[in-house]
Structure 1
Amino acid sequence: MLLDNLNWRYATKKYDATKKVAEEDVKKIVEAARMAPTSSGLQQFRVIVITDQALKEKIVPVAMGQDIVAECSHLLVFAAWDKYTEERIDNAYNFITDERDLPRGRFSSYTDRLKAMYLQQSAEENFVHTARQAYIGFGLAIAQAAELKVDSTPMEGFVPAELDELLGLRQMGLRSVTILPLGYRAEEGDWLADMKKVRIPEDEFVIRM
Structure 2
Amino acid sequence: MKNVLDKLNWRYATKKFDPSKKVSKEDLGTLLEAARMTASSYGLQPYHFFVVEDDKVRATLRKASWDQPQITDSSYLLVLANKPTFDESLVDNFIDNIVDVRGIAKEDLAGYEQMMKGALMGLTDAQKASWTSSQAYIALGNLLTIAAEMGIDTCPMEGFDKAQYNEILGLTEKNLNAAVVLAIGYRSEEDETQHYPKVRYSKENLITHI
Q: TM-score range by the shorter chain?
A: over 0.9
CA distance in 1, matches of 2:13, 2:202: 20
Give deviations 1:156-209, integer Å, cap 9, x for gaps: 111111111110111222111100001111111x23121111111111111122
The question of 1:149 aligning with 2:151 is answered yes
Q: Normalized per residue, which structure has more helix?
A: 2
Give 1:136 deviation, angstroms.
0.8
Give deviations 1:130-149, integer Å, cap 9, x for gaps: 11111111111111111111
CA distance in 2, matches of 1:111, 1:82: 21
The question of 1:202 aligning with 2:181 is answered no
Give 1:120 deviation, angstroms.
2.3
CA distance in 1, matches of 2:170, 2:9: 36
Q: Give the equivalent residue in structure 1 for 2:9.
A: 7
CA distance in 1, matches of 2:109, 2:133: 24
- Which of 88, 95, 114 in structure 2 is aligned with 1:112? 114
TM-score normalized with structure 2 length: 0.95
The question of 1:76 aligning with 2:78 is answered yes
Q: Give the equivalent residue in structure 1 for 2:179.
A: 177
2:46, 2:90 within 8 Å by CA — same for their partners in 1?
no
Q: Give the equivalent residue in structure 2 for 1:26.
A: 28
Aligned amino acid, residue 3 of structure 1:
L
Q: Which sections of structure 2, spanning at least 5 residues, go unmatched?
A: none
1:97, 1:106 within 8 Å by CA — same for their partners in 2?
no
**Identity across the alignment (%):** 35
Give deviations 1:98-133, integer Å, cap 9, x for gaps: 100011242222222322332222222101001111
CA distance in 2, matches of 1:93, 1:192: 46
Give deviations 1:59-94, integer Å, cap 9, x for gaps: 112112211101111000111112221112101111
TM-score normalized with structure 1 length: 0.95
Matches within 5 A, 1:54-93: 54-93=56-95
Aligned amino acid, residue 8 of structure 1:
W
CA distance in 2, matches of 1:94, 1:58: 38
Aligned amino acid, residue 208 of structure 2:
I
Over aligned residue pairs, what C-alpha RMSD do you find? Answer: 1.2
Aligned amino acid, residue 156 of structure 2:
P
1:82, 1:127 within 8 Å by CA — same for their partners in 2?
yes
Deviation >4 Å, runs of 4+: none
> What secondary structure is seen at the aligned counterpart in 2 of 1:178?
strand
1:84, 1:118 within 8 Å by CA — same for their partners in 2?
no
Q: Give the equivalent residue in structure 2 for 1:191.
A: 192
Q: Give the equivalent residue in structure 1 for 2:39.
A: 37
CA distance in 1, matches of 2:9, 2:115: 42
CA distance in 2, matches of 1:150, 1:36: 18
Aligned amino acid, residue 206 of structure 1:
I
